[in-house]
Structure 1
């Protein structure tokens, strides 16, 4: 538990793009402080071309405006590696709340003939793509740009922890870093249900671009703090794997999306390391207190995903897929978990 923060810091990370530049160390220190004290920040000066976001939003809006039958042609349950359309009600978090959102999920693209996909890895392989002009091109361009930014930040986090810059980045070759295109419809007559329920993110950290307010973050006092919309900024938050690697020095802060007051689109990239990466507390953070569990990055992601998606719950129940040994329950990390111990 860190601070009873009441606002989210805004960080200019332009200096992080030059690791030998004069402002690099100060920018790293600010990033590290936000990760330790809050687990969230808004970042500007990131260098991602605004035109890429315009193209992404235009094609995403067109996809979610398609008839339901067209969207269901790329239903995520048709995939063997968790890619495709997520209809409302498909995803349920540990509190049991049914979200009022729909989504399209994709990840690092591997060809259908890649040995890891052919071996049946539940998170690796090709994406499903709808038959929609320009969709794949716009989404891929955005993915590539934000993925490149994520590697800059991954190196900066390592330096902020006193580790070599490539401490985490060395584990990045074809990670299951998932991009979600999320649509929160606005219906003033609908029940007062959350856009998305309280949770932590399962990977290293998340880079999010929303189009409207709605995101809330849980502080150490148990209060929900609003994340205001800043035009052009990314929202960054710590995930489970950096909490494990730092043995809790960085906390995967719990967050949610309240019932939206207007139509909202949201684009989180969940930044991961390669699926076979063993994640355990680094030696520098092993103290006399409790030690975070060791996980395998891909197994942890799949276990958490399988507990929150109905189609995967059904596959587990039918014995078609099995949960990884030692799978952590939902809500095992973050401030929400600490508050309820």
Structure 2
């Protein structure tokens, strides 16, 4: 068992077993909002979301838009939740779930007390922050183990906040070695990520923001040949892609990866403890849940050896985070 300090939170990694021929590491992350001062608030939110999950399990026919879906009505009672719904799905929506202390939405509306509490303590919020800390762990370890400049490509990373947080928790000298490129198909998100980077004063060697369709073969090939990235994170795209496209993207990224380079990506797990709340109370569309066996088959289709792949799962069981490392 190893303990690694990542930023202000201690991340404990325990290598537990192999699944589908891939090592699975169970990860314990101290959530930012697991502090004693939030204990009562967390209990209230978990009681509320637990009630909704139980209700939806007992009513499998109750889709998000169903006129009698009381969980949808209750979820979107707070004024800020109604405004937040306009950003679903997308990087702005996940930004506020990940960072509820950032109260002001692009519309000018502010997160109210109930909405902030929901984002702090809902299983989805905790899961987003856990996967971000795992990304930080894997990226930081690479940077500490490799001297010289590092090219980091973030694909469909939304606001970029998890990447910025990871960099801000590194030393200034290490930050000055990083050349970061963030790409997204949505120009609004690209501009939003640029704005957040400026506000956070991350201070990397270079940073580039680019609108690009990573599924376009010609654009993708040109980008990868120009950047020659050593770290590629794809924290917000694979779970929206059907199997064929997900496998094709993995193969293309792996082909251009240098020796010791890392692809870090995530996929929501079917073991998500409040999956019904995610789908039918929040109504977040389009996410394809995959087991480790499912992803192992994608890796096979991409002609990537399973023995260069590892899986990291936080105790909240919301996401599996995968790392592919080029020999």
TM-score, reference length from structure 1: 0.29
TM-score (ref. length: structure 2):
0.30
**Going by fraction, where is helix more abundant, 1 or 2?**
2
